[in-house]
Amino acid sequence: MNHCNHCGNNLSSIIPAGDDRERYVCDECGHIHYQNPRIIVCTLPIYEDKVLLCKRAIEPRYGLWTLPGGFMENGESTHAGALRETREEACANVELLDLYSLYNVPHINQVHLFFRANLLDLNFSSGAESLDVKLYSENEIPWNKLAFTPVMETLKHYFHDRNQNTFPMHCAEILIDPNTKQTITRHF
Ligand SMILES: [Zn+2]
């Protein structure tokens, strides 16, 4: 961020009075540009014993498989956003069930939410951001070709919980180990 979105002048990274961390503040008009985490809303669409995955047609993780989801828009609810993203990416009609998992991803300033959902019919197809959309049973899941850790974790929880026939909500934080650079999932 280089220029003020109010007046176009230069920004400086300073701690504003009464604040405790650096913000981008306009040198000219003093406008403070707060930056906060973004929310990614997703569904876990279920049809009989299968789940619906999308093959990504965009970066990051082009060509890898993910659950339908994307950035929540201003002016919509998490539920509406998850339904919209599922329609956009998989052209799929789903009915939302419970909020099922929540992943904090602080190193990229994101929060990912996944709703369990019933896939209502088989009239799904690839949206503009997908190369392919497909139903997978547990033993067909392309575990080494999944795009994101929260997607992998949510699928693992789902197949485990399905065996118990109980679906408690899962909350976790995805961290990067500073030494190994490997992903660590810490459950709350
Ligand atoms: Zn300004």
What is the whole-number distance in angstroms between the Cα of residue 32 and the centre of ligand 1?
A: 8
- Mean pLDDT (the chain) is 97
Q: What is the mean pLDDT of residues 61-88?
A: 98
Tell me 73's DSSP state: P
What is the whole-number distance in angstroms between the Cα of residue 4 and the centre of ligand 1?
A: 5
Instruction: Enter the tokens of residue 97.
Output: 């069930």
What is the whole-number distance in angstroms between the Cα of residue 5 and the centre of ligand 1?
A: 7
Q: Which segments within 57-169 are labelled E, that is strand?
A: 65-66, 69-71, 94-105, 110-119, 130-137
CATH match of 1-35 with 2.30.30.280: no
Over residues 104-118, the pLDDT tens digits come to: 999 999 999 999 999
State residue 1's pLDDT score: 80
Q: What is the mean pLDDT of residues 26-48?
A: 97
Q: What is the mean pLDDT of residues 137-163?
A: 97
CATH class of 38-187: alpha beta
Residue ranges per structural domain of the chain: 1-35, 38-187
